[in-house]
Every structure is written in structure tokens, then in C-alpha cells.
Amino acid sequence: MEAKDYKQFDIYSPEYREIKEHSNVLKGQYTERDHMYQLYEDMYNMNWMHDLRRRKGADTIKPTISPTARNKVLGSWRLLISQDPKFKVRSDTAEPQQIEALEKFISLMWQRTGKINGRPLHHDIILSMLLYGEAHVGINTIQDYKAFNPDDKRIDRIGKLTPILFDVWNPKTGYPEFDKFGLTAFYREVSVEKSWVRTNYAGMLSDHYGLEKKLQGDGFVTLKTYYDLKYYSVDIDYENIICCEHGLPAIPIAVTLADGSDLFDKSEQVRQPMLYTLAQSRLWERENLYLTVTTSNLFALGCMPMVAYTHDMNSKLKINNDSGILVADLAKGDTIDFVQSKGFLTNEMQNMGQMYKDYIDKSTVFDTAFGENGGTGTFSEASLLSVASRLPLVSTQEQCGMALANAVDLALLTMKERKINFKHDDIQFSYKDIPTDYEIICKLDMTQPQERLQRANEAAVILANGLASKQWTQENTIGVENTEEMNTAMLNEKVEQAFVDYRIQEIIQDMQMRKQQQEQQRQQVLAQAQQQAQEAQQRSVQRQQEQAMQEEAMLQQQQQMNTGGAQNIPRGQQLESDLLAMVQQQAMMNNMNPTGQEQMPEGQAERLGGGGIPGGMPPEMGGILPGMGGMA
């Protein structure tokens, strides 16, 4: 159910009249607080209200504003924003997976809301706590934005990123009321442009002719917002935009205070931020006067140097500037000398400047907290001094974390009451996932990496020498708050790591076995290949031998055919025999008669000497043929 759907009250109703009266009372209670807030803003923005220009000789007065107050706030702010906030959810009924999903959703919602606003939300919250000692954060649902301005296409796109938007307001515009259970009423009054009202409340202005007419054109109007435990009202110069019963379980505004104490009755004393001492003691203004005096003296001495003119009583000094160079017309015996300054700042003035610096450091934060070299010789001394210098910020650090946690707590409470679900990409979150006993914790850490290392080394030395228990060491050196939860988490991590190591060992063994099997298979395949190669080689050799035997057999068979069946004749003798047979056959052919009978030339037989060859051979053939009458 949206705000516009509840019962509405007009400006003449007793409900709205009560709202109006209560708003005026709340604002009147914070008059002095607003005055102090204005002083803090002037110091931070370096606006010094003085009347030095009205004094005689104002041309030589050079007002100089001290940056000390601004530097202290900025230095502290930079320390506190050095790390992103860490949200933690505690619950006795929710499952660990449910808590983890809730923490993931909170971080996502916080980051995306800061991206939509243009800067991280905690930056403005921390600055507000440092400067004013107070932070106001409004919680708005995308559903309400859509109801107030249904034609704005940006809302659909933003609604896909986050269901809740956070607004960080200047505490100077808000007037809260508390009881022992928390916030009971809140009134806010701020000057806004007419176009802003037309854009953000377009869906609520169609039935208000007077408002539409008042919001025409450019200019500013006073927007007044009121919440209590029952009613919600928005009006412009007492012209009602909306006035109804909101039906919410709590006021959707997180108001958190920083330094100060509820022991005091006045609102300006309950809130005592960093610049409270400087503002009340007027030290900042005194430092401005000191810097103004020193710079004015330096200017005066630099532009109008002091000279000594020594002359006779009857002499008169004449200065001629016609040639562009100052020429002094002196009588005989007259002299002009510049007076050598022994220092335009006396020792008393220098001591006063150092005194102002010391007072301001003690009233705020020492510069060593921001990294200034304090003149220490060793790293340990410098580190210890840096940590000690941050002690004034401890309270602000804790309260800033509480401010962020309160804002997230109200956002979840609103989602649960309005039954808002969120789904986008891989994020799915239902209001039913919010446990009934949840607690939001947020921490802002100022610890630097070198400090963590130093604390870890200290804890290791203590445990190694048995100087203290593990629980005491965790709580007092490292800063572990819930040692049982930490030990359980560490044990779970060890069990998980042991299981992972066991699984890794199993995987390694399995891989080794597979590798061995693969190697065995490879060796078997290689052995089979070698055996097959040997068998193939043996078969090849056998084939070659068989072929050689076949060739030998064929050769022998051919020889037998050529020699008429001669057996076992050596190859050389066979060739000789064949050649001899050919020679004899040719000789016989040459010596045959026409009848075919062999004849020999006359006297040939005697020349051959018989020789056992029919017809004989010519003497020149003797000894040529093997085995035939060798020569001596």
C-alpha cells in the first residue's frame, strides 16, 4: 500500500493543524544548534566574517584565513573513507546461506545507490558526522517515486538496479525528536527549486490548482516534510501536497549522533563535533588575526621599506622621478640609508603562533594522524605516534558505522513491511528472506596495511612464546571481536583445506595410475611393434635366402643343360671348357672338305706335335688356351 492510498487530510483538518504546530515547536528547539552549525560551515568553507576593511589604512591590511579547521576535518574524512564499509548480519534463526545472501544484497544495494547519487553514500555521511556531529539519512522506495511521478522513465531503469534509494541530508535542515525508544518525530525544512518539486511530485499535483499555479516558472520555494509515528506530510508554503497516515512501523529516516552526550539538556551541547572547541574558544578566529597581522606586516615592510635620513637642520630632501629612476637630491653631508630589519615578527609573536597551533592540535586531531612527520627517529615510534593521534576519531568512527547500519536496517524494515521483492540479473531477493531477529553491523576501518602487519607480528610473537592465550591475543592485538565465531570459521577452513588437499592427492594418484597404465600400454604396443618388425625382417631374410637358392638351382640347371649333363664342374673350368669347345668347332669347320670330312693343311700335324687334338692346332695358339701347352 502506497502513501497516496492512505486517508488524506487537508490543510483545514485538525490533524494537519497539529502537524503544523508540532513542526514549529521542533524548529524552535534547535535555534542555537543551527547557529553553531553555521559556524562549523563557515570554518570548513573558510568564510571569516570580519570588519578589517573598515579600519583606517585598510589598504595595507591583508586578511588571511587559516585553513587549519578545514584541513583537520578533511584529513579525518580521508582516513575514514580510506576503506569501504563492511556490512555484517547476525541472526540466531537464519541459515548461513540466507545470511550470506542478505549480506550480498545489502552491499549491492549500497553500492548501486551510491552510483545513482553520483558518489559513495558513506562519504557524505562521514563528512556530516565530522562536521556537524550528526547524520540524517532518508529511506525512499522506488515504488513511492513511481507513485509520485509515474511518467518519469528514469525510475523504471533505476528500479532494476535497487529497490531502495538513500538520501543524505544536511542536519541543519532537520529537526528530530527522540524518546528512549528512538525517533518519534522529524521535521525538515529546505529551500528547493520549483522545477525540482514539479519533477518529484508530478503525480500528486494534478488535483491542486493552487500548488500548480504557485510552482509555475522558476524560483525557489520552501519544502516542508514532517514524519511522526502516525502521520506523514509534505507541503510548500503551507500548501498541502500530501498529508496522510503512513502506516509504517517506523519513521523511514535514520538519525545518528556522533561526539557529545545526552547528559546535557541543550541540543547544541548534546552535539559536540570536531570543530566545537575551536568555535567556542574562538581559536580559529585568533589564528586568522595572527596570520593577518604577520602577512600585513610583511606586506608593509616589503612595499614601504624604512629608511634613515641624516641631514643638516637646514637641508631639505628632494626626490626626482622624471627619468623613471628615483633620484634623491642631497645636500653636502646628507645621507639616506635603508634600515636593516631585525625581524618583523618578535619572539612574542612567534611564540603566540606556536601556541595557537598547539591549542588547535589538542582540540582536534594531531597532524601526525594524517601522515605528518613528527620528528621521530624510528619507524616504530612514528607508527605508534600515528596510531595514538587517531584516538580522537575512535568515537566518530564507531558512530559513522552505526549511522550506515541504521540506514540499512530501516531499508530492510521498509522492504519487509511493504512486501518488496527485487530481481535483476543474478540477484533475486525476497522480503521473506529477511529474518525476524536480524542485526546489522557496519564497520569503518582506519587501520593501514603496515599497522595490520605490525599487529600480526605482535600476535605471532605472543603465541610463539606462550605469553597469552589464543583468545586473548585475537581480542587484544588483532582485534577479533567474536573469537568463538572466528575459531569456528578457522576450523571450517582447515577442514575444507584438508578435504581439498585429500581430493588433490586422490586426483594426483589417479593421474599417476592413469599415466602408468598409459605407459604400460605404450610399452606393450612398442614391444608388439618390435616383434612384428623382427618377424618381418626374418621373413624378408628367409625370402632372400629362398630366392638365392632358387637362383643357384636355376644356374646349376642351366649349366647342366649347357654341358650335357656334366655335374659338379667349377664355374671357371666350365667357362674354359665352353671356350675350348667353341674353338675346336670353328677349327673343324675350317678344315672340312667338301664331302664333310675333316682335313688338315699339309704339315700341320707335325707342327701341332700330335697334341691329342684331331688335326692339331697352330703353334701360335700354344699356351693361350688354359690347360693347352702352357708356355715356360
| Rounded (5°) CA angle 58-61-64 | 135
* Section 450-465 average pLDDT: 80
Alpha-helix residue ranges (DSSP H) falling in 465-570: 470-473, 483-563
C-alpha cell of residue 305: 621599506
Alpha-carbon distance values, 307 to 57, 87, 304 (Å)? 20, 70, 9
Report helix, strand or coil for 64.
coil
Specify the DSSP element, H or E, that contains 226: strand 220-228
CA terminus-to-terminus distance, the chain: 147
Residues 6+ apart with CB under 8 A from 308: 336, 337, 338, 339
**Contact status, residue 346 vs residue 273, Cβ threshold 8 Å:** no
User: How long a stretch of residues is the chain?
Assistant: 632
Instruction: Supply the pLDDT for residue 49.
Output: 82
Instruction: Supply the pLDDT for residue 407.
Output: 93
Instruction: Supply the pLDDT for residue 450.
Output: 64
Report helix, strand or coil for 280.
helix
Query: How sure is the predictor about 5, in pLDDT bands with cuts at 50, 70 and 90?
Result: low
Please check the confidence at residue 607 and state whether its pLDDT lies above 80: no
Cα–Cα distance measured from residue 444 to residue 416, given in angstroms and rounded to the nearest whole number: 27
* Dihedral class, residue 26 (left if φ above 0, else alpha if ψ from -120 to 50, else beta): alpha
> 310: closest CA among 333, 335, 282?
335
Q: What is the pLDDT of residues 7-36, one digit of tens each?
A: 678 888 888 899 999 999 999 999 999 999
Alpha-carbon distance values, 52 to 63, 241, 321, 404, 460 (Å)? 7, 48, 34, 44, 61
Contacts 24+ apart (CB under 8 A), 17-26: 19/226, 19/228, 19/231, 19/233, 19/243, 20/238, 22/185, 22/187, 22/226, 22/228, 23/175, 23/187, 23/189, 23/224, 23/226, 26/175, 26/176, 26/177, 26/185, 26/187
Instruction: Supply the pLDDT for residue 208.
Output: 72
Query: How sure is the predictor about 614, in pLDDT bands with cuts at 50, 70 and 90?
Result: very low
Q: What is the pLDDT of residues 77-124, one digit of tens each?
A: 888 888 888 888 888 888 888 888 888 899 889 989 988 888 899 999
Please check the confidence at residue 602 and state whether its pLDDT lies above 70: no
**Contact status, residue 577 vs residue 569, Cβ threshold 8 Å:** yes
Instruction: Supply the pLDDT for residue 487.
Output: 81
Instruction: Supply the pLDDT for residue 368.
Output: 63
Looking at every residue in the chain, the average pLDDT score rounds to 79
Cα–Cα distance measured from residue 183 to residue 139, given in angstroms and rounded to the nearest whole number: 14
* Section 516-525 average pLDDT: 91
Q: What is the pLDDT of residues 551-596, one digit of tens each?
A: 888 888 888 877 654 445 555 555 556 666 666 666 555 555 544 4
* Section 436-452 average pLDDT: 78
Instruction: State the residue for C-alpha cell 654341358.
Output: 563
Instruction: Supply the pLDDT for residue 566.
Output: 46
Instruction: State the residue for C-alpha cell 653636502.
Output: 332
Q: What is the pLDDT of residues 226-256, one digit of tens each?
A: 999 999 999 887 788 888 888 888 999 999 9
> 133: closest CA among 270, 30, 35?
270
C-alpha cell of residue 496: 575444507
Specify the DSSP element, H or E, that contains 222: strand 220-228
Report helix, strand or coil for 574.
helix
Phi and psi, residue 11, nearest 5°: -70, -10
Cα–Cα distance measured from residue 70 to residue 67, given in angstroms and rounded to the nearest whole number: 5
Please check the confidence at residue 479 and state whether its pLDDT lies above 80: no
Higher pLDDT, residue 396 or 480: 396
| Rounded (5°) CA angle 45-50-55 | 150
Point out the least confidently predicted range of 170-174, 333-337, 367-371.
367-371
Q: What is the pLDDT of residues 370-407, one digit of tens each?
A: 556 655 555 555 555 555 566 777 788 888 999 999 99
| 302 CB-contact burial (10 Å; exposed 0-12 / middle 13-18 / buried 19+) | exposed
Point out the least confidently predicted range of 83-97, 137-151, 591-605.
591-605
Instruction: Provide, rounded to the nearest whole percent, the portion of the chain with pLDDT above 70.
Output: 73
Instruction: Supply the pLDDT for residue 44.
Output: 92
Cα–Cα distance measured from residue 191 to residue 166, given in angstroms and rounded to the nearest whole number: 20
Instruction: Supply the pLDDT for residue 225.
Output: 93
Query: How sure is the predictor about 612, in pLDDT bands with cuts at 50, 70 and 90?
Result: very low
Instruction: State the residue for C-alpha cell 691329342.
Output: 612
What would the 3-class secondary structure string for 173-221 be? HEEEEEECCEEEEEEEEEEEEHHHHHHHCHHHCCCCHHHHHHCCCCCEE
Question: In this structure, what is the dihedral angle of CA atoms 69, 74, 79, 80, given to the nearest 10 degrees?
Answer: 100
Please check the confidence at residue 611 and state whether its pLDDT lies above 80: no
Phi and psi, residue 182, nearest 5°: 125, -150
Q: What is the pLDDT of residues 303-336, one digit of tens each?
A: 656 666 666 667 676 766 565 566 777 777 777 7
Instruction: Supply the pLDDT for residue 609.
Output: 47
* Section 184-196 average pLDDT: 92
Question: In this structure, what is the dihedral angle of CA atoms 233, 236, 242, 243, given to the nearest 10 degrees?
Answer: 40
Higher pLDDT, residue 563 or 37: 37
Point out the least confidently predicted range of 438-452, 475-489, 586-600.
586-600
Please check the confidence at residue 65 and state whether its pLDDT lies above 60: yes
| 594 CB-contact burial (10 Å; exposed 0-12 / middle 13-18 / buried 19+) | exposed
Instruction: Provide, rounded to the nearest whole percent, the portion of the chain with pLDDT above 90.
Output: 22
Q: Which amino acid belongs to residue 295? A: T
